[in-house]
Amino acid sequence: MSGILILAEHRRGELRAATLEAIGAAGQLKAAVGGEVSVAVIATDPSAFVPAVSVGAVDEVVTITTPEAATFEPHLYERALSDLIAARKPALVLMPHSVDSWALAPAVAIANDLGFATDVFGLQVEEGAVVATRAGYQEKVFVEIDFPGRAGVLVTLRSGAFEPAAGPAQPRITPFEAGDAQRRSRHLDWRDPPATGGIDIPGSPFILSIGRGVGDEANVAQFLELAEGLGATLGCSRPIADNGWLPKARQVGQSGQLAAKCNLYVAMGISGSVQHQWGMKHVENIIAVNKDPEASIFSIARYGIVGDMLEIAEEVRKQKGL
């Protein structure tokens, strides 16, 4: 009952960056948990990912060659990972809180009788026991979760919550043979997000973004004009793109774009879900306009205006002569 096991996540031949954050978290906890840090790679050719995961506190890379796992398949991954957990009995298993993990982590936790928490951004070890912290009620409270009586705990980590591991490591490589598993689904193809049509959220230094508060499709056009008049790129939150009011290329957030080069972000009528914040909370100057004084966007914004976005927009237009 010791050590930390991390499942490497990869897609289309590339290691996903969230894996490095999980390795970073393991590095912070290694001394308190005790034992080694191992990374499991499940792939048709796991050796391809060994260099990318040989970083930080990693002592060992466990390669599980699974000819059928050219792409993620939850049932194959479940078998392979469960067999490894049964053999090793790690005290802590870490995965990114990603779409792949959503389909995998509950099954692995249940099958191995592990303590289980998801979307975790804080981890401590108290008297040898893991305590996980996550948020609740739309981020308005924090929740500490413990796992009484569990020998092992599986935790999925919120993206961006832990510093990614850096610096080379020289782990030993251990091949592991998992039992036969039956796949229950079949990959057909990938579809990349539609062309952005010249809309450049990742490259834009100034983004004016609108959310549910815009109220009606008829109100959207004026914000395109307002953004243009101010020299900003118009962005939006998920519901606006889901409604088809603006193209997906303008959506900021986890299933959309990252405002990577942004220095000024004006969020109008956006309450600030975790998924949206992922795309913009790093921006140095965030100005939030929202009717709800308790909206979670105000906890990350530098400046806040409690008010009606349409009214504020109207005033801005007037004063700028737009």
Partner 1 sequence: MKILVPVKRVASLDDEFELRDDGRDVDPDFCEFDLNEFDEYALETAVLIKEAAPEGTVEVVVLTIGPDDADDTLRKALAKGADRAIRVDDADLGDADRVAIARIIAKVAEQEEPGLVLCGAQSSDFGHAQTGMSVAALLGWPRVAVVSRLDYAPGAASATVERELEGGLVERIEVETPAVLTIQLGINTPRYASLRAIKQANAKAIESRTPTDLGLSTGEIGGAGALSRVRRVYVPERGKSEMIEGTPSQQAARLLEIIEEVQG
Q: Which of residues 258-277 bind partner 1 (CB under 8 A)?
A: 263-264, 266, 274
Quick one: CA dihedral 290, 292, 293, 296, positive or negative? Answer: negative
CA distances from 312 to 74, 101, 266 (A): 48, 41, 12
Three-state DSSP at 220 gives helix
Closest CA to 47 of 32, 63, 36: 63
Residues 6+ apart with CB under 8 A from 114: 85, 93, 108, 150, 152, 153, 154
The one segment of 35-43, 44-52, 144-152, 209-217 that binds partner 1 by CB under 8 A: 144-152
CB 280 within 8 Å of CB 211? no
Nearer to partner 1, 27 or 276 (CB): 276
148 binds partner 1 (CB under 8 A): yes
Which range in 58-66, 84-92, 214-222, 309-317 contacts partner 1 by CB under 8 A?
309-317
Select the residue interacting with partner 1 from 40, 92, 93, 241 (CB under 8 A): 241
Name the amino acid, one letter, at 261: K
Distance CA 22, CA 10 (A): 13
Q: Least distance from C-beta 51 to partner 1, angstroms?
A: 23
Residue 320 interacting with partner 1 (CB under 8 A): yes
Euclidean distance between the first and final Cα of the chain, in Å?
66
CB of 23 to partner 1, least distance (A): 18
Q: Which of residues 92-131 bind partner 1 (CB under 8 A)?
A: 97-100, 102-107, 109-111, 113-119, 131
CB of 60 to partner 1, least distance (A): 26
| Member of 11, 70, 87, 215 binding partner 1 (CB under 8 A) | 11
CA dihedral 294, 295, 299, 300 (to 10 degrees): -160
Cα Rg of the chain (Å, integer)? 22
DSSP 119: E
Minimum CB–partner distance for residue 52 and partner 1 (Å): 17
Collapsing DSSP to helix, strand or coil, 70 comes out as coil
Chain centroid to CA 52: how far?
19
Toward partner 1, which CB reaches closer, 188 or 218? 188
**Structure-token match 């067999």, residue found:** 83
Q: Which of 31, 127, 137, 197 binds partner 1 (CB under 8 A)?
A: 137
Site for partner 1 in 166-225 (CB under 8 A): 184-193, 206
Footprint of partner 1 on 27-66 (CB under 8 A): none
How many residues bind to partner 1 according to rule CB under 8 A? 93
Q: What are phi and psi of 254, to 5 degrees?
A: -60, -40
Closest CB to partner 1 among 50 and 230?
A: 230
Q: Is 164 in the site for partner 1 (CB under 8 A)?
A: no
Question: Residue 176 gets which letter from DSSP?
Answer: -
Q: Which residue in the set 1, 13, 14, 142 belongs to the binding site for partner 1 (CB under 8 A)?
A: 142
Of 14, 45, 225, 315, the one binding partner 1 by CB under 8 A: 315
Among 48, 50, 125, 287, binds partner 1 (CB under 8 A): 287
Stretch that binds partner 1, among 22-30, 39-47, 209-217, 310-318 (CB under 8 A): 310-318
